[in-house]
């Protein structure tokens, strides 16, 4: 497994463009509560894990807000940059968990030094891969592609998409993970 942390800086604009496309698709569907028109309501995030490589625009969480005065509910379209409410960038969670595979304390030390992530945080990511991810629809789709692989799930996921160092493949992997496209 490659030790390239943080991921190549050319990845971030690709992921941002995918997020904008996901936001536009959500906007075209309208408010899921009242059917009203959705307006842009972005807000800043302070993501960890190589966030210094991101411009302020790329740190924005793209969000929408209903324009109907009786509704005004927020809609969060899927994001390939931010996995849910996690404070670390999604690609960092995936690559770190894949790199962490195996009981090697040296790997944990490298990850904590490079990412500033606590050992317990990295363990929580690995537990997410072992427990929560393997119950998801994404895993059910992917399982057929990697059934014969001998590697643990996060590492298999990275290897299937050949996403160790290629920003375009990393973007494809993150799109698949958030369920936007296989």
Per the structure, the complete domain to which residue 152 belongs is given by 11-177
pLDDT in tens, 96-108: 777 766 546 787 7
Is position 51 within any domain?
yes
Which segments in the chain show pLDDT lower than 70? 1-8, 50-53, 100-104, 145-152, 180-182
* Count of beta carbons in the 10 Å neighbourhood of residue 37: 12
Number of independent structural domains in the chain: 1
- CA dist., res. 97 & res. 163, Å (int): 13
Is position 2 within any domain?
no
Is position 136 within any domain?
yes
Report the candidate in 82, 76, 13 with the shortest Cα–Cα distance to residue 42.
Answer: 76
pLDDT in tens, 136-163: 887 777 777 665 556 667 787 788 888 8
- CA dist., res. 171 & res. 49, Å (int): 17
Token output for 175: 């799109």
The DSSP element (H or E) to which 139 belongs, if any, is: helix 137-146
- CA dist., res. 166 & res. 91, Å (int): 12
Is position 1 within any domain?
no
Token output for 27: 């906007």
Chain centre distance of CA 66: 25
pTM: 0.75
């Amino acid at each position: 497994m490659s030790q390239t942390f943080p991921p190549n800086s050319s990845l971030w604009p690709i992921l941002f463009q995918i997020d904008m496309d996901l936001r536009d698709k959500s906007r075209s569907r309208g408010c899921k509560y009242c059917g009203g028109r959705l307006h842009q309501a972005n807000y800043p995030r302070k993501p960890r894990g190589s966030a210094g490589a991101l411009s302020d625009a790329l740190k924005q969480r793209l969000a929408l807000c209903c324009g109907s005065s009786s509704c005004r509910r927020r809609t969060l379209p899927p994001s390939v940059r931010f996995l849910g409410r996690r404070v670390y960038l999604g690609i960092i969670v995936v690559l770190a968990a894949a790199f962490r595979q195996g009981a090697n304390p040296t790997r944990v030390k490298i990850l904590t030094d490079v990412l500033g992530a606590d050992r317990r945080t990295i363990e929580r990511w690995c537990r997410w891969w072992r427990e929560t991810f393997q119950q998801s629809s994404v895993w059910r789709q992917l399982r057929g592609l990697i059934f014969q692989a001998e590697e643990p799930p996060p590492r298999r996921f990275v290897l299937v998409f050949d996403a160790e160092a290629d920003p375009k493949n990393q973007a494809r992997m993150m799109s698949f993970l958030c369920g936007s496209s296989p």
